[in-house]
Amino acid sequence: MSLEKQLVDRSGNQCELCSSTNNLRVYEIPPNPQKRIEEIIHVCTKCQLQLDKKEELESAHWSCLNESMWSEVPGVQVVAWRMLNRLKNESWAMDALDMMYLDDDQLTWAKASGDDVNSAEVDLHRDCNGAILKAGDNIVLIKSLDVKGSTVNARLGTVVHNIKLVADNTDQIEGRIDGQAIIILTKYVRKNA
C-alpha cells in the first residue's frame, strides 16, 4: 500500500490537524530521516503554509489543536506541540500545553525544530509598505537602481512583472528588467495592484 493511501486511510481523507477536507497533501515532519508513516501527516494547504511559516499565523485557525493534540499519531502530537508553542502567548494554547503529554522520544523530536524557543513571527517577503509579496506578483521600483555587473539602469517607476521570491532571504526578490534577471531588495519596491 502506498504511503499516500495509508495517510488517506488513517486520516479519513481530512487534515489531521484541523479536519479540513480541502487541498490535502503529504507533510513530512522535519527532521525525518527515516520517512516512516509516523513521521508524515496529512494536512490542508492552510495548515502547511502556516507550519512552514509561509503565511501569517492565525490563532483562530489553530484552536483545532485542542482536539488534534489528543491524536494517537505521534507526528500529529509533535506538530500540535510545536504549533501550541508558537502560540504560547494565547491563554488557550498555554492551557493546552499544560495538559499535553509527550514521551521523551517525542519531546526530543518536537524540540528538534526549535519552535519551543523561536518567535512565532513569520518572516515573509514584504515591500516598502509592509505588503506581502508573492511569487508572480508585479512590483514597481521606488528608487532608481544601478544593476551591478551590467549597463542596465532600473529607473524609478519601472514595473517588474512576475517576480520570484529568493527562498533563503526575505529581503530579496528576483525579477527581469530589460530581459536580464536581477536581484532586487524588497525595501526598494512597492507591490503593484
Q: Rounded to the nearest 5 degrees, what angle is found at the Cα of 90, between the Cα atoms of 19 and 26?
A: 30
pLDDT exceeding 70 applies to what percent of the chain? 94
List pLDDT tens digits, range 10-43.
999 999 999 999 999 999 998 876 778 888 999 9
Global confidence as pTM: 0.68
CATH class of 139-191: mainly beta
Contact in structure between 125 and 164 (CB atoms under 8 Å): no
Domain layout of the chain by residue ranges: 3-111, 139-191
For 123, counting Cβ atoms within 10 Å of its Cβ (0-12 exposed, 13-18 middle, 19+ buried), the class is exposed
List pLDDT tens digits, range 63-78.
999 999 999 999 999 9
